[in-house]
Amino acid sequence: MLIRGQTVQQTAHGLGYDSTTAFITMFKKGLGQSPGRYLASLTTTFR
């Protein structure tokens, strides 16, 4: 969802999270970085 251009808030809501903070916390636990850093790393990878 994030890769498709949705905001973190839209992604969190679309996945059923009650808050953006809860989504970011779980994202960090799963991937070891925030959604913003993750997207930045993808952008750097594909340039």
**Domain residue limits at 39:** 8-45
In-domain check, residue 22: yes
**Which of the two residues, 46 and 7, has the higher pLDDT score?**
7
Confidence grade of residue 33 (pLDDT, cut at 50, 70, 90)? very high
The pLDDT of residue 45? 61
Give the residue from 45, 46, 39 showing the smallest Cα distance to 1. 39
In-domain check, residue 17: yes
CA distance 29 to 16: 17
Number of domains the chain is built from? 1
CB 20 within 8 A of CB 34: no
Is residue 23 within a helix (H) or strand (E), and if so which, with residue range? helix 20-31
CA distance 28 to 7: 16
Q: Say how many C-beta atoms besides its own lie within 10 A of residue 6's C-beta.
A: 13
In-domain check, residue 3: no
pTM reported for the whole predicted model: 0.77
